[in-house]
Structure 1
């Protein structure tokens, strides 16, 4: 249904299906799945942006613009900072204009930045374009998981909210593929065509997102109860679930159950400004014990996800592979492609398991696997670096290191990769969800920037094997953190999430005391 019709009250009311036309029960809600898939396309922008920050693309950028290593590292790091800035304003923007149009805005901003990058003539213009694409990516990174969480039925929420991670990886693989396809072109044309794909992706995103409805929870927050009911009827597993979800959303927003479409609009409009100004206070200044627990869990999860080195594995893949003694560009590219393929396969495994066995088991298993992989990788890299040349005696070490890289990527893709977005997008109350996830993404990108900008420096200071040991220790800390602070959210309604948090733990002091 075209969304312009939903703006017309009479036309919209004619399109609301009667209960008799709706099936009583569905195995998998296809309409909700379509909404989740289309919204997840925004995550392709982040994946493609990441591919332009690593591997062959970094070599192209450095050669084309004649950049020093310092300028190159700064370019990559600053991009993450601007993603954080985009994330910081995305929450409030999505509360004002809606989740759907914020995704459209993200695509437009990315388009402008990619266009400037493609025709950049120097470092300053390249940095400007890179910064603008970062802003667009930050918008998309926040609002897509929020939208998918709010539109998903409870039975499939984990599967649907895992989809953005799948599309992030699709964007990464698309970037690697474009690097391979255009590698034989002159350097300036190779760069132009690689960025051109990003321009096409942003326009494709805008067209796709305009085909989906607005989030039902945002519609209720605006007093558009009739539209919200229509979306819930289409995206729930049964009529009964749609009615229950609507009642819970109205109750969470302080709307009496007797209100129907448009009656509540004046109430919502009069309180909208005050509610927006109170959100940050409720999150940071005067949080309840439950909200404080949720915020600590969110910040910790995003910090540990990026401190786990996943960005380093892909951004500095060529550097790591060279440390193994592999000099051939074709062999290096093969290792990178294998890592991307492994990431895709195991993300898909996680998406199908998350609603069956829960979030906690996947998260704890994935982190434990990451820790073991990093320890073995650090040990073997140290052993290889003690050889001046690669000899037959080290071939076993090289093969084991590559296996551990793939193992690390696999465990990350089962655990922290998708679960970070599933978990943090569903645990906040409705009115705090967009801004709460924004806070998580800000921390995520700042941490990613710090890790990527210090990797080469740390490698020189404590050796590359020492860096992997360091992050293995961080992984061990994260496992304890998740085990103590993360309740299972599988099968719980979004409006019930707050009741899972704020319970007695060794960290209760932080939940029940003021900052």
Structure 2
């Protein structure tokens, strides 16, 4: 009977469509972030002409979003531990609404920069909270897919931004770029209200001692009542609440220092256990390397890359960037379909192989074009330069892009998840800003082809890091992932989910939330 129930639990877990719908709504905030990135790549062409900005101002405008996202990301974890995951998504939308309105109404460069800063804070909140909410409300079998949703939303937003650039470029100069940037305010207002209809994360509710409410949510996102009960028991154990005071029907506890996130930074950075130390290295490392592959340089400065490759007119450049957005979106959708079937490691490492080859070929093609006489570059070099932009985008989008967010949102223990994710996002934004704010200066110093050769070499380092330090997490419940990291630094595949669920219930090993095993 125990085996039969375990099989039933494994068969049903992850099939509930309501959990997927909630994850999609929670990830919509990422569309706004992507839209701002995509639309700015084209808007900068018009801003430079209208406001007479120089290259330094353009780089600051491009990168300040990520600098200010540090403020959002470093505070979002503590805020979400305090007010909940759902309200944090609503807060992020409100902040982004204010930033978009400022940019859309900006009379000068200073106001535009201020609006970009405010939007950056909202971006920091959005990047942290969307994958965390998706990870906490979904089950193990679909977690990779739903935690990748923010990345496809970002890509979809970038695509919408490119399309907006192309369509709104026909407006008078003084209105065109302001309309491009201001449009982000409309969906922000809708999302800020709509997200309040979503359920709260059951794992956050358990941390607050609101077990009855957590069970109610779990029964809505699980296929069976038994599955909800099993998941609640696992969450309570991981949260350290598996005692009589946390039983269903008991009144909610008063918030404690632990439940509102106090002491987390001390546990992460001053006295981490060996498994936590390995988790932090893996989670922070994937964020550190994501932008060192050069994705921000290609997405934000793709118009300049296409110009360097020989595409001349502004209309052709903007049309080519739409192709970049379509490619990015299509291949992230492919990743979402594959990540829970073949695992994180195969997708991530094959993605890096494509990135390394694409960047090397892009560097070669742009070097040949740059050293040729004006308008006399070899056709093969022009074709290679344009084609490898698309192969790079495809390679990044099928692995490194979505898996960075999926992997980093699922590896933290419950008690560390929100604030650990916020630090990871801060690292991500620092690297994003470093690339976006220095790329123009970099390619002027080492040539544009040399810049992409450099990114190719850094991608080799990223592959080495992931291969040796990041174990597979496919199919593992969130409450068991800390145990995966308790076996040393060597990357290893965990036992299959099928094998685990076919064991009798009394023999299943789970994590008790403190890095120890319980029968």
Q: Same fold (TM over 0.5)?
A: yes
Q: Which structure 1 residue ranges, 5 or more long, are not aligned?
A: 1-21, 508-515
Match of 1:213, SS? coil
Aligned to 1:9: none
Aligned to 2:24: 37
Aligned to 2:252: 265
Aligned to 2:420: 436
Greater shift in the superposed pair: 202-211 or 302-311: 202-211
Aligned to 2:151: 165
Q: Is 2:407 the partner of 1:423?
A: yes
Q: 1:25 and 1:81 mapped to 2: Cα distance?
A: 43
Aligned to 1:83: 69
CA contact (8 A) 2:365 2:385 kept: yes
The verdict on how the C-alpha distance between 1:27 and 1:232 changes in structure 2, with shifts beyond 3 A counting, is closer
Q: Which structure 2 residue ranges, 5 or more long, are not aligned?
A: 1-8, 492-519
Q: TM-score, normalized by length of structure 2?
A: 0.89
Query: How far has the Cα of 1:272 moved from its partner?
Result: 4.1
- Output the aligned Cα RMSD: 1.8
- From 184, 194, 201, the equivalent of 2:187 is 201
Match of 2:141, SS? helix
The aligned runs of 1:3-14 (5 Å cut-off) are none
Q: 1:231 and 1:506 mapped to 2: Cα distance?
A: 37
The aligned runs of 1:173-188 (5 Å cut-off) are 173-188=159-174
Q: 2:103 and 2:315 mapped to 1: Cα distance?
A: 27
Aligned to 1:356: 341
Match of 1:332, SS? helix
Match of 2:209, SS? coil
The verdict on how the C-alpha distance between 1:191 and 1:335 changes in structure 2, with shifts beyond 3 A counting, is closer
- From 463, 470, 495, the equivalent of 2:447 is 463
Q: Is 2:212 the partner of 1:226?
A: yes
CA contact (8 A) 2:363 2:449 kept: yes
CA contact (8 A) 1:247 1:257 kept: no
Greater shift in the superposed pair: 286-295 or 418-427: 286-295
Q: Deviations over 1:92-133 (max 9, x none)?
A: 000000000011011111111111122222222221111111
CA contact (8 A) 1:236 1:242 kept: yes
Q: Deviations over 1:133-156 (max 9, x none)?
A: 111111111011100000001111
CA contact (8 A) 1:298 1:440 kept: yes
The verdict on how the C-alpha distance between 1:137 and 1:57 changes in structure 2, with shifts beyond 3 A counting, is same
- From 319, 331, 338, the equivalent of 2:323 is 338
Query: How far has the Cα of 1:195 moved from its partner?
Result: 2.6
Query: How far has the Cα of 1:26 moved from its partner?
Result: 7.5
CA contact (8 A) 1:153 1:237 kept: no
Q: 1:329 and 1:121 mapped to 2: Cα distance?
A: 24
Query: How far has the Cα of 1:506 moved from its partner?
Result: 7.1
CA contact (8 A) 1:224 1:262 kept: no
Greater shift in the superposed pair: 26-35 or 466-475: 26-35
Match of 2:169, SS? coil
Q: 1:113 and 1:295 mapped to 2: Cα distance?
A: 32
